[in-house]
Amino acid sequence: MHASPEPMAAVQSSAALLRVPTPERWLEQACRTPRILLIDHANCEKKAASTALALMFAYAEDTQITLGLSRLAREELRHYEQVVRLIERLGFGLERLAPGRYAQALRGAVAHEEPGRQVDLMICGALIEARSCERFAALAPRLSGPIGELFAGLEAAEARHQSLYWTLAQRAAQAADLDLATRLARFADLEAQLVTSPDDNFRFHSGPPPA
């Protein structure tokens, strides 16, 4: 059973945004397959930077969005460089991976029309960053050596990114007089389903492996 939503004023931390913790079976699989974990993590950092840039173009007249997401994009690209350097250091090598279902499913539920679209996009960004933060925190003590150290260092950055997206979602919903709590509940329920239901393709944001 999913947790009840937090009051809007209390939804600040990553844990407060998420309905459920990462399943133990996903964490066990991540520890068994660090190479795929890191390669997909690198892809996620690139996609996060690309998403931020796309939003900067979509809402170019809004300086709070463009300046905030400009900083976020730069940080995501620095993280990408850190992950790639670690992949090379560990001798894993890079390869092209098909994307998982997670981000596509979340963004598939985004409204097509404004102003709801902007609110939904920012909610999705907050949830994705919140899940990243939660998984870094869960994995860091389980993965010894440089991978655990990297994840421990990235947790605080992901929390800042989550906070930025959530602030932008609150601001957009207030300006458009939209019900943020209802919209968050819909996406948070979908996000929880995606990370708890069996998933054939292991990725950084995937669900647990089939039993």
pLDDT digits (tens, 9 = 90+) for 82-100: 999 999 999 998 889 999 9
Q: Where are the domains of the chain?
A: 23-196
Peptide bond into 115 cis (omega under 30): yes
Q: Distance (Å, rounded) from C-alpha 20 to C-alpha 15?
A: 8
Q: Distance (Å, rounded) from C-alpha 162 to C-alpha 157?
A: 9
Ramachandran angles phi, psi of 15, nearest 5°: -60, -35
Residue with tokens 């992901």: 158
Q: Distance (Å, rounded) from C-alpha 16 to C-alpha 4?
A: 10
> Confidence class of residue 16 from pLDDT cuts 50, 70 and 90?
confident
Q: Are 40 and 12 in contact (CB under 8 A)?
A: no
Q: Are 45 and 3 in contact (CB under 8 A)?
A: no
Q: What is the mean pLDDT of the chain?
A: 93
Q: Distance (Å, rounded) from C-alpha 197 to C-alpha 205?
A: 12
Q: Distance (Å, rounded) from C-alpha 6 to C-alpha 142?
A: 29
What is the reported pLDDT for 14? 63
Residue-wise pLDDT tens digits, 159-183: 999 999 999 999 999 999 999 999 9
Using alpha carbons, select from 175, 78, 159, 77 the residue that is nearest to residue 126: 159
Q: Per the structure block, which two tokens stand in for 34? A: 């660090």
Q: CATH says 23-196 is which class?
A: mainly alpha
> Confidence class of residue 56 from pLDDT cuts 50, 70 and 90?
very high
